[in-house]
Amino acid sequence: MKRTNQIAWTWLFGVIFGLDGAITYGQDPAGSPPDRPSVRRPGLQRPDRTGFQPRRNAAGGKSGLKVGAMAPEFKLKSLDGETETELATLRSAKPVVLFFGSYT
């Protein structure tokens, strides 16, 4: 009889805590796997600490420019922060290869 009571209590606790766990994870007690939390793709879709958040540009959507599209014009300064260079001026004489990058 003592053994039977022990089994009954164990079963009862199992049901109670099983239900509790199921409620916590928002699923039925039948044991289907919990939904994985949605994984947000890092980086480009949200601003970082400095507030930088790339937006869709006018020409190419979020994936950027394609072959045959017009290259966006720019006017940028050289490393000394003084001399300005325009893409339109560069490409009027020769084709232009552009590398974009940073130190890290």
Partner 1 sequence: METMYQEYKDIVEFRLIYIREAHSADGERPTQFAKDKGIVQQQTYDQRCTTAKMLFDENKLTIPGLVDSMDNQTNTEYFAHPDRVFLVLKDGTLAVAGAKGPRGFQPAIDDVEKWLIDYRKTLAEPAPENPIDEQPQENPPSPDRSSSIR
Question: Any idea which residue has 């928002």 for tokens?
Answer: 26
Span of 4-12, 15-23, 27-35, 46-54 interacting with partner 1 by CB under 8 A: 46-54
Span of 5-13, 21-29, 30-38, 43-51 interacting with partner 1 by CB under 8 A: 43-51
CB 85 within 8 A of CB 75: yes
Q: Does residue 45 belong to the site contacting partner 1 (CB under 8 A)?
A: no
Q: What is the Cα–Cα distance from 8 to 88, expressed in whole angstroms?
A: 84
Residues 49-88 that bind partner 1 (CB under 8 A): 49-50, 52, 54-55, 57, 60, 62-74, 76-81, 85, 87-88
| Closest C-alpha among 74, 66, 77 to residue 96 | 74
